[in-house]
Protein backbone atom coordinates (compact mmCIF):
# COMPACT_ATOMS: atom_id res chain seq x y z
CA UNK A 1 0.00 0.00 0.00
CA UNK A 2 1.32 3.37 -0.96
CA UNK A 3 0.38 6.12 1.50
CA UNK A 4 1.91 9.02 -0.42
CA UNK A 5 -0.18 12.12 -0.74
CA UNK A 6 -1.66 12.80 -4.15
CA UNK A 7 -1.49 16.18 -5.81
CA UNK A 8 -4.70 16.82 -7.68
CA UNK A 9 -4.86 19.54 -10.30
CA UNK A 10 -8.11 21.50 -10.37
CA UNK A 11 -9.62 23.70 -13.03
CA UNK A 12 -12.21 25.89 -11.35
CA UNK A 13 -15.01 27.46 -13.37
CA UNK A 14 -17.20 30.02 -11.58
CA UNK A 15 -20.62 30.01 -13.24
CA UNK A 16 -22.01 31.94 -10.29
CA UNK A 17 -20.08 35.06 -11.32
CA UNK A 18 -20.59 34.91 -15.09
CA UNK A 19 -23.15 32.76 -16.84
CA UNK A 20 -21.31 32.27 -20.13
CA UNK A 21 -17.76 30.97 -20.62
CA UNK A 22 -16.30 31.63 -17.16
CA UNK A 23 -12.58 32.06 -16.72
CA UNK A 24 -10.74 28.87 -15.71
CA UNK A 25 -8.72 29.19 -12.52
CA UNK A 26 -6.01 26.58 -12.04
CA UNK A 27 -5.23 25.38 -8.53
CA UNK A 28 -3.98 22.18 -6.95
CA UNK A 29 -4.73 20.32 -3.74
CA UNK A 30 -2.75 17.70 -1.84
CA UNK A 31 -4.82 14.79 -0.48
CA UNK A 32 -3.82 11.74 1.53
CA UNK A 33 -5.29 8.42 0.35
CA UNK A 34 -8.67 7.45 1.79
CA UNK A 35 -9.34 10.89 3.27
CA UNK A 36 -12.91 11.44 4.43
CA UNK A 37 -15.18 13.05 1.81
CA UNK A 38 -16.33 15.77 4.23
CA UNK A 39 -12.72 16.83 4.84
CA UNK A 40 -12.07 16.99 1.09
CA UNK A 41 -15.26 18.97 0.51
CA UNK A 42 -14.40 21.53 3.18
CA UNK A 43 -10.89 21.87 1.76
CA UNK A 44 -12.31 22.39 -1.75
CA UNK A 45 -14.71 25.02 -0.40
CA UNK A 46 -11.77 26.78 1.27
CA UNK A 47 -9.60 26.69 -1.87
CA UNK A 48 -12.42 27.83 -4.14
CA UNK A 49 -13.69 30.35 -1.53
CA UNK A 50 -17.21 29.00 -1.80
CA UNK A 51 -19.94 29.29 0.83
CA UNK A 52 -22.70 26.78 1.56
CA UNK A 53 -25.20 28.65 -0.62
CA UNK A 54 -23.29 27.58 -3.75
CA UNK A 55 -23.14 24.21 -5.50
CA UNK A 56 -19.85 22.55 -6.43
CA UNK A 57 -19.90 19.95 -9.19
CA UNK A 58 -16.79 17.85 -9.68
CA UNK A 59 -16.14 16.46 -13.16
CA UNK A 60 -13.34 14.40 -14.65
CA UNK A 61 -11.61 15.22 -17.95
CA UNK A 62 -14.45 13.54 -19.86
CA UNK A 63 -16.91 15.95 -18.16
CA UNK A 64 -18.61 13.17 -16.22
CA UNK A 65 -19.75 13.92 -12.66
CA UNK A 66 -17.76 12.12 -9.99
CA UNK A 67 -18.23 11.88 -6.21
CA UNK A 68 -15.91 13.78 -3.90
CA UNK A 69 -14.52 10.55 -2.40
CA UNK A 70 -13.01 9.58 -5.78
CA UNK A 71 -10.42 12.33 -5.32
CA UNK A 72 -8.89 10.42 -2.39
CA UNK A 73 -9.02 7.00 -4.03
CA UNK A 74 -5.45 6.01 -4.99
CA UNK A 75 -6.73 3.60 -7.65
CA UNK A 76 -8.48 6.46 -9.45
CA UNK A 77 -6.22 7.80 -12.23
CA UNK A 78 -4.37 11.09 -11.77
CA UNK A 79 -5.91 13.65 -14.05
CA UNK A 80 -7.23 17.16 -14.09
CA UNK A 81 -10.59 17.72 -12.47
CA UNK A 82 -13.05 20.47 -13.26
CA UNK A 83 -14.94 22.11 -10.44
CA UNK A 84 -18.01 24.00 -11.60
CA UNK A 85 -19.41 26.44 -9.06
CA UNK A 86 -22.98 27.61 -9.52
CA UNK A 87 -25.77 29.24 -7.56
CA UNK A 88 -28.49 27.11 -6.08
CA UNK A 89 -31.46 27.28 -8.39
CA UNK A 90 -35.03 26.66 -7.34
CA UNK A 91 -38.51 27.34 -8.62
CA UNK A 92 -40.18 30.26 -6.94
CA UNK A 93 -43.66 29.50 -5.53
CA UNK A 94 -45.16 32.47 -7.39
CA UNK A 95 -43.94 31.25 -10.77
CA UNK A 96 -44.98 27.62 -10.28
CA UNK A 97 -47.47 26.37 -12.83
CA UNK A 98 -50.94 25.07 -12.05
CA UNK A 99 -49.86 21.58 -13.00
CA UNK A 100 -47.14 21.65 -10.34
CA UNK A 101 -49.67 22.88 -7.77
CA UNK A 102 -52.07 20.10 -8.69
CA UNK A 103 -49.28 17.55 -8.43
CA UNK A 104 -48.22 18.81 -4.99
CA UNK A 105 -51.84 18.79 -3.80
CA UNK A 106 -52.27 15.25 -5.11
CA UNK A 107 -49.19 14.06 -3.21
CA UNK A 108 -50.37 15.80 -0.05
CA UNK A 109 -53.78 14.12 -0.35
CA UNK A 110 -52.13 10.70 -0.85
CA UNK A 111 -50.04 11.27 2.28
CA UNK A 112 -53.12 12.29 4.29
CA UNK A 113 -54.97 9.19 3.05
CA UNK A 114 -52.02 6.97 3.94
CA UNK A 115 -51.77 8.53 7.41
CA UNK A 116 -55.50 7.96 7.93
CA UNK A 117 -55.21 4.30 6.90
CA UNK A 118 -52.26 3.81 9.25
CA UNK A 119 -54.24 5.33 12.13
CA UNK A 120 -57.20 3.04 11.40
CA UNK A 121 -54.89 0.03 11.26
CA UNK A 122 -53.36 0.95 14.59
CA UNK A 123 -56.85 1.11 16.11
CA UNK A 124 -57.87 -2.25 14.64
CA UNK A 125 -54.73 -4.21 15.57
CA UNK A 126 -55.71 -4.82 19.23
CA UNK A 127 -59.19 -5.89 18.13
CA UNK A 128 -57.73 -8.31 15.55
CA UNK A 129 -55.43 -9.76 18.20
CA UNK A 130 -58.39 -10.27 20.54
CA UNK A 131 -60.43 -11.96 17.77
CA UNK A 132 -57.52 -14.25 16.88
CA UNK A 133 -57.10 -15.21 20.53
CA UNK A 134 -60.85 -15.92 20.89
CA UNK A 135 -60.82 -18.02 17.70
CA UNK A 136 -57.85 -20.03 18.93
CA UNK A 137 -59.52 -20.67 22.32
CA UNK A 138 -62.75 -21.74 20.58
CA UNK A 139 -60.82 -24.10 18.31
CA UNK A 140 -58.89 -25.62 21.23
CA UNK A 141 -62.12 -26.09 23.25
CA UNK A 142 -63.81 -27.77 20.27
CA UNK A 143 -60.86 -30.10 19.70
CA UNK A 144 -60.64 -30.92 23.42
CA UNK A 145 -64.31 -31.96 23.43
CA UNK A 146 -63.80 -34.16 20.38
CA UNK A 147 -60.70 -35.80 21.86
CA UNK A 148 -62.56 -36.44 25.14
CA UNK A 149 -65.42 -38.05 23.19
CA UNK A 150 -62.98 -40.27 21.25
CA UNK A 151 -61.21 -41.27 24.49
CA UNK A 152 -64.55 -42.29 26.10
CA UNK A 153 -65.57 -44.21 23.00
CA UNK A 154 -62.20 -45.96 22.85
CA UNK A 155 -62.49 -46.93 26.52
CA UNK A 156 -65.98 -48.37 25.84
CA UNK A 157 -64.80 -50.39 22.84
CA UNK A 158 -61.51 -51.63 24.30
CA UNK A 159 -63.02 -54.51 26.35
CA UNK A 160 -65.00 -55.71 23.31
CA UNK A 161 -61.88 -55.65 21.11
CA UNK A 162 -59.97 -57.77 23.62
CA UNK A 163 -62.75 -60.36 23.68
CA UNK A 164 -62.79 -60.71 19.92
CA UNK A 165 -59.03 -61.06 19.57
CA UNK A 166 -57.79 -64.61 19.76
CA UNK A 167 -55.24 -65.17 22.43
CA UNK A 168 -51.83 -66.01 21.21
CA UNK A 169 -50.11 -69.02 22.56
CA UNK A 170 -47.29 -67.99 24.69
Question: How sure is the predictor about 169, in pLDDT bands with cuts at 50, 70 and 90?
Answer: low
Q: Looking at residues 6-21, what average pLDDT do you find?
A: 82
The boundaries of the domain holding residue 121 are 95-164
Q: Give the separation between CA 106 and CA 100, rounded to whole angstroms.
A: 10
Q: What's the CATH code of the domain at 70?
A: 3.10.20.30
Q: How confident is the model at residue 96 (pLDDT cuts 50, 70, 90)?
A: low
Residue 169 lies in a domain: no
Say what percent of the chain tops pLDDT 90.
16
Residue 4 has pLDDT above 80, yes or no: no
Note the pLDDT of residue 1: 47
Of 20, 22, 19, 67, residue with least CA distance to 40? 67
* 1, 23, 26, 38, 77 from 19: Cα distances, Å: 44, 11, 19, 28, 31
End of a domain among 87, 112, 138?
Answer: 87
**Using CA atoms, how far apart are residues 85 and 22, in angstroms rounded to an integer?**
10
Total tally of structural domains belonging to the chain: 2
Domain membership flag for residue 1: no
Residues 62 and 38 in one domain: yes
Amino acid sequence: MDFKKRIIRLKIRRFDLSAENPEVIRKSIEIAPYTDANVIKSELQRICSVSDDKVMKIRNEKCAHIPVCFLADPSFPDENFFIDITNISYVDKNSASLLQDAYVDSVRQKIRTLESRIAQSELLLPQLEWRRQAYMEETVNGLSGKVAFLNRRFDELLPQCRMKQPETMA
